[in-house]
Structure 1
Amino acid sequence: MKYFFIATTLLVSATLRATAQTAKPEDTEFYTPVPAVVSPGKSSSDAPSDAIVLFGGKNLDEWVLVNDSTATKKWLVSGGAITVDKKAGDIQTKRKFTDFQLHIEYRIPADIEGSGQARGNSGIFLAALPWGAGGYELQVLDNYNNKTYTNGQAGSMYKQSPPLMNACRKPGEWNTYDVVWAAPRFNEDGTVKTPARVTAIHNGVLVQNNYELKGDTPYIGAPKYRKHGAAPIKLQSHGDPSKPISYRNIWVRSL
């Protein structure tokens, strides 16, 4: 048996050497499918050629008020930015999305007041739903020097996953989110086929690393899933007493 093992080992080694000698680089090369050509923006903030620009600094044509989709007056557009109007309520995209890459920038006012959750509070709902917690919220808040519960600070998937790092810029400066969202899929009976996943980069720092969501992001209670399809992206008007925050340079690429 010992000699058989040695002989077998020598045979395998010889075969591998022979294969290595006859193998060619092109054996492991392929040329299809050919990736589509996308022209990147001139900077990381600029939309690539295949992106849908949701807000480019001029108007809110891609958005509606959640409470009144026919309203012509929405949030304030000024200086290339949109500013939250707590009286008007949340806004959401007219279009619905499933999987996507999202770029969005926000600014906490330099003279922000308040503390905890009442300090520049807003949120980006990666899929807005008309029931329960209202969807899946990526938190927007001033946490440059402001303590709160960690799964409710900026960069968190609200009440589920705290950010890996606190990468907040100080109030008055623009912050950037780059997000990859994979929407959940459901079976016919409403059970979860594949859960939602999110990767988020905050000001160039990874804060959510392919996180698998347990469901929606409620303020009270445990997260849960409810069957849905494509959904709008929503920006939250939190309604706290602090000065309102602003957004700019919003674009999305369907994946």
Structure 2
Amino acid sequence: MKLNSTILTTVLLAGISTASVFAQAKHEDTEFYTPVPKEVKPGKTVSEAPSDAIILFDGKNLSEWVTTEDRNKPAQWTVANGLLTVDKKAGNIETKKAFGNYQLHLEWKVPANITGEGQGRGNSGIFLASIGKGDLGYELQVLDNNNNPTYTNGMAGSIYKQTTPLVNPSRKPGEWQVYDIVWTAPVFNTDSTLKSPAAVTVFLNGVLVQNNFILKGPTQYIGEAAYRKAHGNSPIKLQSHGDKSEPLSFRNIWVREL
């Protein structure tokens, strides 16, 4: 089979042209020097807040928190010995400041003598964006799941009622658990329709348990989650769950706005 001379000539010329372009290219062509990233001094350990973090709890007070049911009321949980302990009679607490996208570090511990089972064993939650009173928002579950079976989209490391964690790296009761979270907030159009959904990446005790999971909407205890109402930047909320087990504690909470 003979190649058409015009096609052959075109192919040859294209090859010569491409070779010429590569011959003229320089490695500098794909290097850029601006913008220069801002310098951030890291903490001495991975748990210590970096220089640009907002300290939400440093073991001293709850100056960055309010009561969810009445945002004019200071948070009423117990602060002692550098720890923040849930007061189940005082209700949920949330940050004074509202956030969009962020990196969050938080450490939590259920008591060594924890009782109960399933969802009634050291239950709390981190609402990555609080969008109203009570348990409204997008919840990352806090629960003792060391030898404590429950529904898998309700265990520690799950986005509650939406997805299970990739693995279960839970430590024993009485030991500190560490969450490192990257939150991408949902974005809404001017007509309140959803433009882009929320997404979250979560490490529990240094182990990846959520890998850029796309949320279906705010947490729904009953029924399917969906984006039913538009909202902007939102506080971060900690849950005072109604289970009867001994209350858990938090420490070393900081956030970096992205």
TM over 0.5: yes
- CA distance in 1 between counterparts of 2:52 and 2:112 reads 34
Q: Deviations over 1:103-150 (max 9, x none)?
A: 101011111111100010000000111168500000000111110001
The equivalent residue for 1:24 is 26
The equivalent residue for 2:244 is 241
SS of corresponding position for 2:48: coil
CA contact (8 A) 2:68 2:133 kept: no
- CA distance in 2 between counterparts of 1:252 and 1:34 reads 23
CA contact (8 A) 2:201 2:210 kept: yes
Judge which range, 145-154 or 69-78, deviates more.
Answer: 69-78
CA contact (8 A) 1:81 1:246 kept: yes
- CA distance in 1 between counterparts of 2:203 and 2:129 reads 18
Q: Percent identity?
A: 60
The equivalent residue for 1:160 is 162
Structure 2: 5+ residue stretches without partners:
none
Given candidates 40, 43, 55, the residue that maps to 1:41 is 43
1:139 corresponds to which letter in structure 2?
Q
The equivalent residue for 1:253 is 256
The equivalent residue for 1:9 is 11
**Deviation of 1:197 (Å):** 0.8
The equivalent residue for 2:215 is 213
**Deviation of 1:20 (Å):** 2.5
Q: Deviations over 1:212-253 (max 9, x none)?
A: 111111111111211111111000010211111111110001
Q: Deviations over 1:149-182 (max 9, x none)?
A: 0100000110001111111111111111111111
Q: Deviations over 1:68-97 (max 9, x none)?
A: 444456111122110111011111111111
1:83 corresponds to which letter in structure 2?
T
CA contact (8 A) 2:68 2:134 kept: no
Number of residue-to-residue matches in the alignment? 255
Q: CA RMSD in A?
A: 1.6
Q: Deviations over 1:177-230 (max 9, x none)?
A: 111111111122221111111111111111111111111111111112111111
1:249 corresponds to which letter in structure 2?
N
Structure 1: 5+ residue stretches without partners:
none
Judge which range, 60-69 or 163-172, deviates more.
Answer: 60-69
1:203 has 2:205 as partner: yes
